[in-house]
Amino acid sequence: MKFDNRYFTKFTFTPDQIEKNLKNAIKDLNIAKKVNILEVKFNYAYTALIKAGITLLSYYQVKVKSVPGHHVRIIEKLAQILKDENIESLGNSMRSKRNLNFYAGGIEVTEKECREYVDFVREVLAKLKKLLSLKSLKN
């Protein structure tokens, strides 16, 4: 798999670091599940998605550079590695909404949207965990 060096760099992650990255993504998803403020629920679901991507990349010994566009590339690689186009489309929809919140005066998210986003990120993390356990069995 090719990683663009404008956004990624090779880095040696230990199994402990990879596990911490995964736990961090799960922690954010659990916050999103519990909180009742919709904007907070959305933000934690989005950060859980990005952290899931960081976890997957760390498994492949790749570190993300903090440069403009890096979230797009994280989502892109997450979709590519997990072989799920929906990750790219829904992930970028979440990213766009998050950018509107940051740069265009805020957003409104509905309860239905938040439920869909949380369910989506839960599914992504389940696929990620399955892939990590299958890959680690082969190593």
Per residue in 19-30, pLDDT (tens digit) is 999 999 999 999
DSSP strands (E only) in 1-125:
8-10, 62-64
For residue 127, pLDDT beyond 60:
yes
Domain extents for the chain? 8-138
Q: What is the mean pLDDT of residues 46-59?
A: 97
Residue for token digits 């599940």?
A: 33
Name which residue leads in pLDDT, 69 or 103: 69
Of the candidates 110, 108, 103, 73, the one whose C-alpha atom is nearest the C-alpha of residue 91 is 73
Per residue in 57-94, pLDDT (tens digit) is 999 999 999 998 899 999 999 999 999 999 999 999 99
For residue 139, pLDDT beyond 50:
no
Residue 18 identity (one-letter amino acid):
I
Tokens representing 73 are 């590339």
Classify burial at 112, counting beta carbons within 10 Å of its beta carbon; exposed 0-12, middle 13-18, buried 19 or more: exposed
Q: Within 13 A of 40's CA, how many CA atoms are on the CB side?
A: 8
Burial readout 13-36 (b: 16 or more C-beta within 10 A, e: otherwise): beeeebeebbebbbebbebbbebe
Domain 8-138 architecture: Up-down Bundle (1.20)
